[in-house]
Amino acid sequence: MSFGETYKHETLQSRRDRSRRSMFWARILGILLMLTIGAILRSEPQLRQDLMDAGINGILKLTKRDQPQFANAPLPTNTKGNGGIRINRPVTEAPDSSALAAQAGRRVAARKVGD
C-alpha cells in the first residue's frame, strides 16, 4: 500500500468519525433543547398562550382567513336558470392585526420579570 492510498484511507476514516461524533452531539443537544423548551412552556402558561395566539394569527394570515369575508348578495328568486340556489355566507369581522400585536405586547409587558 502506498503512502497516498494510506493517507486517503485515513482521511476518509477521520471524516467518518467526525461525522458520527457530530451527529451524536447534535442529537443530544436537540433532545436537551426540546426538553428545555417543553419545561419552559409548561411552567409559563402566559408565554404558552402568547405563542399559541401568535401562531394562530400567523396561520390565519397565511391562509388569508384574517381578511373579512363578504357575504354574497342573495340571488333573485324570479330569475330563470338559477335553480333556486342561494349562497349566503356570514360576514365576519377580522381582528385588526396591529391591535392584536399591541395587546400581545401589553400582556407580555404586564408580566413581572421574576414570574
pLDDT in tens, 34-45: 999 999 988 988
Which pTM was predicted?
0.42
User: Which residues pair with residue 69 across a beta bridge?
Assistant: 92
pLDDT in tens, 12-31: 999 999 999 999 999 999 99
Per-residue confidence band for 32, with pLDDT thresholds at 50, 70 and 90: very high
Residue that has been written with the C-alpha cell 356570514 in this structure = 90
Position 75 scores a pLDDT of 54
Position 59 scores a pLDDT of 85
Residue 51 to residue 11: CA distance in whole angstroms: 47
Given a contact cutoff of 8 angstroms between Cβ atoms, the answer to whether 99 and 38 are in contact is no
Residue 43 to residue 30: CA distance in whole angstroms: 20
